[in-house]
Amino acid sequence: MEQAPPDPERRLQPAPLEPLGHPDAGLEAVVGEEVEGARDEGSGDGTMTENNFWLKKIEISVSEAEKRTGRNAMNMQETYTAYLIETRSVEHIDGQSVLTDSLWRRYSEFELLRNYLLVYYPHVVVPPLPEKRAEFVWHKLSADNMDPDFVERRRIGLENFLLRVASHPILCRDKIFYLFLTQADSRLKALNATFRVKNPDKRFTELKHYSDELQSVISHLLRVRARVADRLYGVYKVHGNYGRVFSEWSAIEKEMGDGLQSAGHHMDVYASSIDDILEDEEHYADQLKEYLFYAEALRAVCRKHELMQYDLEMAAQDLASKKQQCEELATGTVRTFSLKGMTTKLFGQETPEQREARIKVLEEQINEGEQQLKSKNLEGREFVKNAWADIERFKEQKNRDLKEALISYAVMQISMCKKGIQVWTNAKECFSKM
């Protein structure tokens, strides 16, 4: 559920900020009552304590996918896929054996979990989910969301998402994540808001641009790969025609028949091998897609920073306005047009007692605003520190994963070419024996 946009009047010409380092502010995220209740049941900060934490001691798997039919919120019948999450203890905890837990989740529930993690851990690069709909597919693969091959790939992607979260040093300790794995009735809501800031942090701006470029590059790479797969599939299958022609030819030749028949057999094998090759390629394509969606996770961190920066700018603007009002009351001069100034001109000056009372109230508000601004700056600096620490961790993970995926893909292409060379080498030997 999306949050209503901020009051447009708050966006008008925010006053310049004093130099405060890298200012940021907190976010009062709107999350459903069920989430708040679940967090209250755990430790006070919503994370599991060391005594209760055992996510690192369990095995997590998404073992099955099942097509189901039910009614949605509009009471309309719909068909969807449910996924079976199984958790099993790999060792005894406190001398007691923990039984295997299992429950069914829809893809939309995984989305709710990830949205929750984005809101409550804004400094973390939250792992992405696999694609909701089939994209970047070549013609042999179905774009139907209920296609068994697509459902199986998404099952593997959802399992990978849970394992990524469970292995994250911060996310793995979250109480809601634990309930997601063990209780079927946990429901999450999240916040999505866009703010316009006057003084954005250059580092987060560059990170946002990088995430856009990363998504664009990987999208183009996947499209190229899909086109190559289409052409490759056709080339391999056309080689099956060699096999048919050589077999027909062998029937009318006595001395050349055996050689032609053997060469035709090699061509048939070569033509049929493309199905397994492209099936293996899908695995590497899914690895690239994961980082396609990680780009959105990076943008979510940037949006959170923008929101906090905007909140700080509004707090600083409000504080500057109160200081100006206090100064005007103390000196009796009005530097800007205001409704209060017009009222004073029309109905006369305030009494000294009234002015002193107003000054006292403003001074109290200024002191409170300064404390809040200081707190927001400290919170913002902590956010930047935590965010960049996790971004550095993500960069190392990204570099390692993509390097391995690209090398493996290149090795597979080399192996495929070698098989093609071997097929024609065998065919050459068959022709030589004629």
Pair type for strands 77-89 and 58-71: antiparallel
The pLDDT value recorded for residue 3 is 44
167 in any annotated domain: yes
Q: Which domain holds residue 147?
A: 28-190
Distance CA 179, CA 182 (A): 5
pLDDT average, residue stretch 246-264: 86
| Out of 39-53, 230-244, 300-314, 346-360, least confident range | 39-53
The pLDDT value recorded for residue 357 is 86
233 in any annotated domain: no
The pLDDT value recorded for residue 99 is 56
Contacts of 81 (CB under 8 A, 6+ apart): 65, 66, 67, 68, 106, 107, 145, 146, 151, 154
pLDDT digits (tens, 9 = 90+) for 79-128: 788 898 988 876 654 555 455 678 888 888 898 899 889 888 888 999 99
254 in any annotated domain: no
DSSP string, 327-355: HHHHHT---S--HHHHHHHHH-PPPHHHH
With a cut of 90, say whether residue 158 has pLDDT above it: yes
Among residues 81, 63, 77, the alpha carbon closest in space to that of 132 is found at 81
Domain count, the chain: 1
With a cut of 70, say whether residue 47 has pLDDT above it: no
The whole-chain average pLDDT of the chain stands at 76
Distance CA 160, CA 131 (A): 13
185 in any annotated domain: yes
pLDDT digits (tens, 9 = 90+) for 405-428: 889 888 888 988 888 899 889 888
The pLDDT value recorded for residue 398 is 92
pLDDT above 90: percentage of residues in the chain = 10
Contacts of 189 (CB under 8 A, 6+ apart): 1, 30, 31, 32, 35, 112, 115, 116
Q: Say if CB 380 and CB 316 are below 8 A apart.
A: no
pLDDT average, residue stretch 342-358: 68
Q: Helix or strand or coil: residue 257? A: helix
| Out of 183-187, 330-334, 420-424, least confident range | 183-187
With a cut of 50, say whether residue 214 has pLDDT above it: yes
The pLDDT value recorded for residue 165 is 92
pLDDT band at 34 (very low <50, low <70, confident <90, very high): very low
Alpha helices in 64-171 (DSSP H): 107-120, 148-167
At 261, list the tokens: 């028949």
The pLDDT value recorded for residue 284 is 83
pLDDT average, residue stretch 361-388: 90
74 in any annotated domain: yes
pLDDT average, residue stretch 266-283: 85
Q: Is the pTM of this model over 0.75?
A: no
CATH number at residue 99: 3.30.1520.10
The pLDDT value recorded for residue 69 is 72
pLDDT band at 29 (very low <50, low <70, confident <90, very high): very low
Question: Residues for the chain: how many in total?
Answer: 434
**83: enclosing H helix or E strand:** strand 77-89
395 in any annotated domain: no
Strand order in the sheet with 77-89: 58-71, 77-89, 101-106
With a cut of 90, say whether residue 400 has pLDDT above it: yes
110 in any annotated domain: yes
pLDDT band at 76 (very low <50, low <70, confident <90, very high): low
The pLDDT value recorded for residue 26 is 33
50 in any annotated domain: yes
The more confident residue out of 410 and 8 is: 410
pLDDT band at 382 (very low <50, low <70, confident <90, very high): very high
